[in-house]
Amino acid sequence: GENVGLHLPTLSVQEGDNSIINCAYSNSASDYFIWYKQESGKGPQFIIDIRSNMDKRQGQRVTVLLNKTVKHLSLQIAATQPGDSAVYFCAEGVTGSWGKLQFGAGTQVVVTP
């Protein structure tokens, strides 16, 4: 499944399939980017981050891709599991800006059996 946009859309994906969540960031000066997962009623949990001198970074079952030319970020989740159901946010930051982050609106991922 794939979804685009900063509003809170819903991405439905079948268990075992790969998920792709997209994010368009706004600040050309942003030099680091973070993906968070948020379950209902809880605080965001760090998933993976990437700095602007990279275009790809891999973690456990997750890959983040960065395209600075079009200011686009994506999170790929391999073999999506029921526990992956949550809202996913991208956040952008600028080194030296006191650690402040700008967040996208998020994407709701629903994993169906």
* Rounded distance between C-alpha atoms, residue 47 and residue 59, angstroms: 8
Report the 3 state secondary structure along 58-91.
Answer: ECCCEEEEEECCCCEEEEEECCCCHHHCEEEEEE
**For another protein, which residue of 29, 54, 79, 105 counts as binding (CB under 8 A)?**
105
Of 12-20, 54-62, 65-73, 104-112, the window that binds another protein (rule: CB under 8 A) is 104-112
Residue 31 one-letter amino acid: D
Show contacts with another protein in window 19-58 (CB under 8 A): 34, 36, 41-46, 49
Site for another protein, rule CB under 8 A = 6-8, 34, 36, 41-46, 49, 89, 91, 98-101, 103-106
